[in-house]
Structure formats: structure tokens, C-alpha cells
Amino acid sequence: MAAAATTVLLHPRIPTTTNVARCSALPYLPPRLSTTSFTTTPFFSTSLKHFSGSQKPCLLQTRASSEESGSWDAVENKSTVLLYGGGAIVAVWLSSILVGAINSVPLLPKIMELVGLGYTGWFVYRYLLFKSSRKELAEDIDGLKKKITGTE
């Protein structure tokens, strides 16, 4: 058995010309091609024309202007904003601790999944399955939006 293992290890590797699957966390990228190869190769010339013609201007652009940078200066209750932001971070941290504690109990995660699936099924049946109930849900959402914004 040991002799067979050593003979396998002593054989030299024969280089192959085929692509070998690489075991790496990084994706395989082909080598860069020069711009002259795009124009001389017929495959790349048609795909390059298609690619360059299909570029559209980006609709979502970020601008750094004096108006946007002065928005923090325009806030009157900075302490309230910081308090709410800190409270949100603490709430996310505590909820992650709570979820971790629930997941450590042996049977509780599966029960919670069943409760979630049951509630999802009820919600779909109650609000999404029929047209009249979808209208009712839309009206409820609009009423909630008006209540939040204070227009009601």
C-alpha cells in the first residue's frame, strides 16, 4: 500500500493544454486583451459595437453639493436624532442577541418557523388571494401612511 502511494507521488505531472478547474476563492478572470484585438477579431468587434451602443447614462448619481452637506446643520434637534439613531443600533443589537438565544433552544427554532409559515399562509389568504381583500389592504396601507405623515 505504501509502495503504491509513493509511486503515485513520484510520477511527474504532464502539462495539459486544456483548462483545469482552479481551486481558489477568487474568480477566474481571463487575461486582458488590448484594444487592437477588439477591432481585429470579428467576435469581439460585434460584441464591442453592441456593448458600446447599449451604454445608457446612469439615472442614479450622487452629488456632493453645499445644499446636501448643510442638511445636518439645518437639524434643530440633533440630540434627538442621535438618540434615535443610537436607540436603533441598540435595538438591532438586542434583537440579534434574542434571535441567537432562541436559536440555541433545541426545539424552539422549528416551532418559530412553523408559526412564521402559518402566519404567512394566513396573510396571503386574507389579504393577497382575492381582489377585494387586496383593495382593503391598499386602503389600510394608505390610511396608515396618512396617519404617520399627519395628513389625516
Q: Residue 41 — φ and ψ, nearest 5°?
A: -85, 125
Q: Evaluate whether residue 37 is within a structural domain.
A: no
Q: Evaluate whether residue 111 is within a structural domain.
A: yes
Q: What pLDDT is stored for residue 118 in this prediction?
A: 97
For residue 137, the 8-state DSSP code is H
Kindly give the parts of the chain with pLDDT less than 70.
1-28, 33-70, 152
3-state secondary structure of 152: coil
Q: What pLDDT is stored for residue 30 in this prediction?
A: 72
Provide the domain limits for residue 148. Answer: 106-152
Taking the C-alpha atoms of residue 107 and residue 114, their distance in angstroms, rounded to an integer, is: 11
Q: What pLDDT is stored for residue 97 in this prediction?
A: 96
Left if phi > 0, otherwise alpha if psi is -120 to 50, otherwise beta: which for 15? beta
3-state secondary structure of 48: helix
Q: Evaluate whether residue 42 is within a structural domain.
A: no
